[in-house]
Structure 1
């Protein structure tokens, strides 16, 4: 295999850069900081519900903006421009999280939603620039390296933050150290984005009329074309359901674990272990997918996640704190076995279903489904918290996303490449 080009290395480094946000802000430190300090005194179920609503709002806004901005970016060579705009938005508002104090929960949620829009929006254009940095036969390899280095890029600053927080606990300055974590995240994200900004250029532009109306027309045409492929539509429906469950667990695991009585220290350690375990298991899923087919391995991953959600529902009912904390570790391990695999195999299976000559348009629709899939699950948990005051029922409802998604997947006819 030919050595990595400078553009390929620079593209991969952006995943290394922004994964710090996904782990520290979206998944671990901010959820703990929010529940312990910003929403202090609020019932646990209600604070979990508010966190779920914030994630749904951010996901919805990005899902609305992404297809339109993507069409404009393709037409006017604006991919990098939009990436920079969302990058700055994400970095600045991530840094602003360090200025929040106890009781400022609505301000915190607003700043978080804006930073989430920056993170998710920049990823839309980052993903789309893969075609600009490498050739088709190297795309799977380069994309996989991005995933792999992303796990490392999330774990390294997270280790720094854990160290600071543990030191702060003993020195009674943990609040200041948690705030420092957001500054570390913003700086890490900004610094390691520099190579992409310097060495990656957009090569491909959509031919034809470059107007706002044409951009809207391109979106409608893509929708009309994809409706002709029933197999693709069924898979997108299945993907929408089960990937919503996956994303919900990523975003809501820490608030839910804290509600169940798991200590912040144990949650941080379990998530750190998850980061290092997820990469080799993602590679294992890839090898098994090559041997047995992507669809059977997707069934395995969906079943694992169904077990995770059911056990998560039972966890708060366990009699002792120790039992709950051990269960949280076990659930983290199960997530590590399947998180990378279900994401990678979904993409590769979809690529076998679609016409190659229209791959860019069809993958644009795939990304839209993925963005909208960050809305339902967090809202289900929020609804359970608001109505019955117990997030367990929201977690149990997530299991049905996996079950219905798996059932829809059975209706998808596997392509010849799978047989």
Structure 2
């Protein structure tokens, strides 16, 4: 299937912000933060727990804002402006990380939280643009292509960072210098590849403008929440999504911190993350095609089963090979479950209120993400064992799967 100019431009934003997800959130910042925090006297498990708490704070902020922001964006002329604002906040905060002193681990967490709010906020409107660029029968494939390009786009800056790590900065950059170079490279990558969306994607579905958009949006949010609870298609999906996407996000955010606790070197962690990215590219596309063959519900169900295996496998990990196997499994399911969740939701909501409904989608997805990292941190701190923190996440996938059984099946597109 050939993609339109608008679809390609929309997909490219996944390519643009992917460097933040893989280089900053997963690769260099958690490891850099832990090294700085431990040098300041924090225990390794305490530093890991603080990283989890910082992720929870960032998601709490955007979760509270998401429904209102989404409702405002549905009015004509607001979606692109709000997208540009939050995108700029995220990019600026990422660049500011470059100037944080090596000993100021508290400031690393604060600026990271700001960048997370900007990143997640921009994604509310990015997700909402999906219904503007794709017709209902193309949603699964376009959404999956976005995640696939995101993983592929993340590989390039990630490989550059990995080469710098392996060569010790080619004798020019120190370990800290490599980290700061990563912050700058991510900033530039994000700016450049955001341009296609800003130029070629426009809001096709919208509500007429009003004189007081914030007040009107708030009243719409209250009314929409009441409407949502009467729609079983949306209620059961969001209830299931609330739990299982929390587990997905927590595994993604805590991966390198967990690997570090298991004694893996920076080099090995970088190679393992590269494997996840490489595996996720074809499997994201594969899940999009699978959804067209067997239906989105069954394809998501397969991904949920893989994640249950991941949590159990994580508890029994003993060797480095076990971590490689875990990474492979994450790569097979991560992009697919995210892409198909987004496209499934886009199919069951009214297009003219896509941003408002995606605001609700984000409050379930992002607000739930407070639970996972916090639960992981608490179990890890109480037991002193990272593997217990990993195993605790299986509860999120089991509950999510049980609720997902109630989700009505949508006919294959």
| TM-score with structure 2 setting the length | 0.91
- Residue 344 (structure 1) shift: 2.5
Superposed CA offset, 1:253-278 (max 9, x none): 11011011111111110111111111
Query: How many pairs align?
Result: 409
Q: Distance in 2 between the 1:3 and 1:283 partners? A: 14
Q: Distance in 2 between the 1:299 and 1:134 partners? A: 24
- Residue 187 (structure 1) shift: 0.9
Structure 2 CA distance for partners of 1:192 and 1:169, relative to 1, 3 Å: closer
Superposed CA offset, 1:38-64 (max 9, x none): 442421110110000000111111111
Q: Which of 363, 367, 370 does residue 372 from structure 1 map onto?
A: 367
Residue 297 of structure 2 contacts residue 409 of structure 2 at CA under 8 Å; is this kept in 1?
Answer: yes
- Residue 129 (structure 1) shift: 2.2
Tell me which residue corresponds to 2:19.
Answer: 20
Superposed CA offset, 1:61-114 (max 9, x none): 111112112212222522121122112211111112122333311111001000
Q: Distance in 2 between the 1:186 and 1:357 partners? A: 32
- 1:190 matched to 2:228? The reply is no
Moved more, 329-338 or 134-143: 134-143
Q: Distance in 1 between the 2:183 and 2:174 partners? A: 15
- Residue 151 (structure 1) shift: 1.3
- Alpha-carbon RMSD across the aligned residues, in angstroms, is 2.4
- 1:252 matched to 2:243? The reply is no
Tell me which residue corresponds to 2:324.
Answer: 329
Q: Distance in 1 between the 2:81 and 2:349 partners? A: 30
Tell me which residue corresponds to 1:44.
Answer: 44
- Residue 141 (structure 1) shift: 3.7
Superposed CA offset, 1:178-201 (max 9, x none): 221111101111111123233333
Tell me which residue corresponds to 1:237.
Answer: 239
Superposed CA offset, 1:124-164 (max 9, x none): 11222233445555444433332222112111111111112
Q: Distance in 2 between the 1:8 and 1:348 partners? A: 14
Output aligned runs, 1:216-235, within 5 Å.
216-235=218-237
Structure 2 CA distance for partners of 1:263 and 1:364, relative to 1, 3 Å: same
Q: Distance in 2 between the 1:348 and 1:128 partners? A: 11
Moved more, 181-190 or 203-212: 203-212
Superposed CA offset, 1:227-253 (max 9, x none): 112343122111111111000000001
Structure 2 CA distance for partners of 1:336 and 1:71, relative to 1, 3 Å: same
Q: Distance in 2 between the 1:202 and 1:357 partners? A: 11
Structure 2 CA distance for partners of 1:123 and 1:154, relative to 1, 3 Å: same
Residue 52 of structure 1 contacts residue 378 of structure 1 at CA under 8 Å; is this kept in 2?
Answer: yes
Q: Which runs of 5+ in 1 are unaligned?
A: none
Superposed CA offset, 1:381-406 (max 9, x none): 12124433333322211011111111
Q: Distance in 1 between the 2:76 and 2:43 partners? A: 49
- Residue 351 (structure 1) shift: 5.0
Residue 152 of structure 1 contacts residue 275 of structure 1 at CA under 8 Å; is this kept in 2?
Answer: yes
Q: Distance in 2 between the 1:276 and 1:190 partners? A: 23
Q: Distance in 1 between the 2:179 and 2:332 partners? A: 29
